[in-house]
Amino acid sequence: MRILFVHHYFPGQFRRIAEHYVATGHDVVALYRGAVDGRSSSPVAGVRLLEYGHEVVADRPKDHILHDSEEFIREAASACFQAIALRDAGWCPDIVYGHTGWGTGAFLQDVFFDAKYVKYCEWFHSNSSETIAFLKPDPPFETRFLNSLLNLPVLADLARADLMIAPTEWQRSTFPAALRPAIEIAPDGIDTDLFRPDPHAAFHARDGRVFTAADRVITYVARGADPFRGFAPFIEALGRLQASDPKVEALIVGDRTVYYGNGAGGEGHFRDVMAKAQIDPARTHFTGTLPYEDYRKVLQISAAHVYLTVPFVLSWSALEALSTGCLLIGSDTAPVREFVTHGENGLLVDFFDAEGIASAIGQALRGGTDIDNMREKARETIKARWSAEAAIERHLALVSRLLPPG
């Protein structure tokens, strides 16, 4: 078959299934946005990449109410121009996978009439108290209005879907009630062979220090220093622990930027939090963004891994930590509860409660049979539900419904 993927940052969530299609002899092409927002696509061997959107520059300023909508339409048109070039060269896909977050594939049905369309439903921007109002209750009308506008490209992209998929029950639940019954659950997939425990792992920090599983290392991984990912309560909890335990070290992976919500694009939140922080700089190691192999070693030597999130998209890092057998201290919020049961395969804490977070980390550091059992069950959870093999099997079963018999 001929398979077309459409994703701003290909492969993104499509890596596992794209690799499978290539490995099984299919002809795979991907339309992607190229380097944007400091991010670029990482290649999948055997996939032909075509960039769209270089000519896309919205006429309106970024703070204009229609800026994002205009950019969506321009990008979708740009993707169509690339698709027309493919069609005119004699290449037409049997299946098109598209990420709905940017609406880039919304009009491809007007180019490839006979293809079947699989739409990835990552997030629908809700104004409920569980989502937008979690950090700031009762946001003003203007905030709610602008948040709702972000759904225009999503809805346009879903309008002519043959199959809609979401990676988790929680993410499906954010979509309108009328759509939910039609959205199937299909995991992205975690490489559980890569993310596995290794008692001999060692992480080499920039200052020359070497950390192993024998050290009392707390780990925290996020794209940036984000309010959405609980950076402030984590830092406060870390300060409490370091004050009472002189051997507690911390490895904090990610940069200093805010990526979601208010303040996105700046480092103001990092500076504000650190100005009040009571942490020990000598025992707090900000690694920045790490190569994958170094990041994996951080998880493998972790004595306690903290993952806090508002009700939002669940980070792969949380699932990779579970797969590695980390003792995960997670926020008691919807996306985490779907994978972590308190006391069985991890510990759940109040997102805002720094003292409670510190107490849970202390429990993890003390270790014992219960903690060891939780680590084992954490890995079992991902192997059973979110492994790359499980993801591919689920995707193929769903897509088979779209194909003619035989």
223 and 340 inside one domain: yes
Domain contains 194: no
Domain contains 104: yes
Question: Which of 75, 66, 82 has the alpha carbon at shortest distance from 99?
Answer: 75
Domain contains 196: no
Kindly indicate the confidence band of residue 68, based on its pLDDT and cuts at 50, 70 and 90: confident
Domain contains 197: no
- The Cα-based distances of 159 to 103, 117, 197, 284 in angstroms read 11, 11, 43, 48
Domain contains 405: no
Question: Which of 138, 144, 48, 148 has the alpha carbon at shortest distance from 93?
Answer: 48
Domain contains 406: no
The per-residue pLDDT for range 237-290, each reduced to its tens digit, is 999 999 999 999 999 999 999 998 777 789 999 999 999 999 999 999 999 999
Are 29 and 3 within 8 A, CB to CB? Answer: yes
127 and 169 inside one domain: yes
pTM of the model: 0.94
Q: Is the pLDDT at 37 greater than 70, yes or no?
A: no
Are 162 and 118 within 8 A, CB to CB? Answer: yes
185 and 296 inside one domain: no
Q: What is the mean pLDDT of residues 169-186?
A: 96
In terms of residue numbers, what domain contains 51?
Answer: 2-189+388-400
339 and 235 inside one domain: yes
77 and 220 inside one domain: no
Q: How many structural domains comprise the chain?
A: 2
Question: Which of 240, 236, 211 has the alpha carbon at shortest distance from 362?
Answer: 240
CATH classification of the domain holding 42 = 3.40.50.2000
Q: Would you state the pLDDT for residue 34?
A: 73
Average pLDDT value over all residues in the chain: 93
81 and 35 inside one domain: yes
139 and 246 inside one domain: no
Q: What is the mean pLDDT of residues 89-114?
A: 96
Domain contains 371: yes
33 and 88 inside one domain: yes
220 and 177 inside one domain: no
